[in-house]
Structure 1
Amino acid sequence: MRLTAMTDYALRLLMHLGQHPQRLCTIAEVAQVHGISQAHLMKITHLLGQQGWVATVRGKGGGMRLARAPQDIVLGALVRSIEPDFQLVECMGPPHEHGCLLTGQCRLAGVFDDALAAFLARLDAQTLADVLPPSPPAKAGVGVALPVAGARRR
């Protein structure tokens, strides 16, 4: 089984956003870090926004962030929302679309069905929080807590 590039890139995007919860991230930034075309990433961001996985802010200073907490993003649900189908072999598709001579006699389709169910069950047991890499170290001047206006110094 092989997931589409769109799912791969969507997972990379969400992992990147999960590593930077304190700020908005841009398509250009994610594209550069992960070596993904900006045009492709724009389509993925649009889809993820429509499906409620990411929240986007337009305009100068805009960007995107996770729309849900990482522990609330179940990988199985995410993958199901992006993948066009899970037809591992031709005979798993609609009956009228294949001409396998073994249809109705072959037990291999049941093995593939079970394997797919196990694969998706494993993804259903994992959240984005489970797979996030450690946050990158803060760069000098970035991510540093700034004093709150009106706060008193000690």
Structure 2
Amino acid sequence: MKVSSKGEYALRALLLLGNHPGKVLGIQEISDKTMVSVHYLEQLLLQLKKLGYVTSKRGAKGGYMLHKGPEGINIGEVIRDLEGPLSPMGCASITQYEPCPMEAGCQLKPLWSLVRDTIAFVLERTTLEDLLQNRINKLEGEDFVVIKRPS
């Protein structure tokens, strides 16, 4: 799994909109603050709108805002919706499995499955709200990622 500029820029835009709840931000302002071209953002925000992450308002004071609260936007879903499966190899994919002629007795498939599971574990447990509230910490040792949520 590789997150392309599409996934990166989409998350930048969602974070910016999440930092301005209930406020409509114009495409130029989003472009300026995310350092993404207006042309690329137009395409990306249209896709995010079709996927239900953002909504738009037309007119002189038009622009974009989040369609739902940041706590309801799962980062794993966003990445899957934009980038496809989280698995690094088709043979280890759960959602888009692709058979491999070397699969029987393959000693690499367990590694690719572990990579997929680890990526999914982190991304599926992370919301836009977690990112906005800076609730992700890297730890030393076996517990490599912890998301701190209020009790």
TM-score (norm 1): 0.75
Q: Does 1:5 align with 2:9?
A: no
Equivalent residue in structure 2 for 1:94, among 85, 94, 98: 98
- Counting only pairs closer than 5 Å after superposition, residues 104-143 of structure 1 correspond to structure 2 as 104-132=104-132
Once the two structures are superposed, what CA deviation does each residue of 1:77-121 show, in whole Å capped at 9, x if it has no partner?
1111111344524755623xx6x6x43222211211121122112
Residue 65 of structure 2 aligns to a residue whose secondary structure is strand
Residue 61 of structure 1 aligns to a residue whose secondary structure is coil
Comparing 22-31 and 6-15, the one that deviates more:
22-31
The equivalent residue for 2:53 is: 53
> Percent sequence identity over matched residues?
28
Q: Does 1:70 align with 2:70?
A: yes
Comparing 84-93 and 8-17, the one that deviates more:
84-93
Residue segments in structure 1 that go unaligned for 5+ positions in a row: 135-154
Residue 9 of structure 1 aligns to a residue whose secondary structure is helix
Contact 2:86 2:119 in 1 (8 A): no
Of Structure 1 and Structure 2, which has the larger fraction of its residues in strand? 2
Contact 2:22 2:66 in 1 (8 A): no
Distance 1:126 1:87 in 2: 17
* Superposed structure 1 runs of 4+ greater than 4 Å apart: 90-93
Distance 1:89 1:64 in 2: 35
- Counting only pairs closer than 5 Å after superposition, residues 18-29 of structure 1 correspond to structure 2 as 18-29=18-29
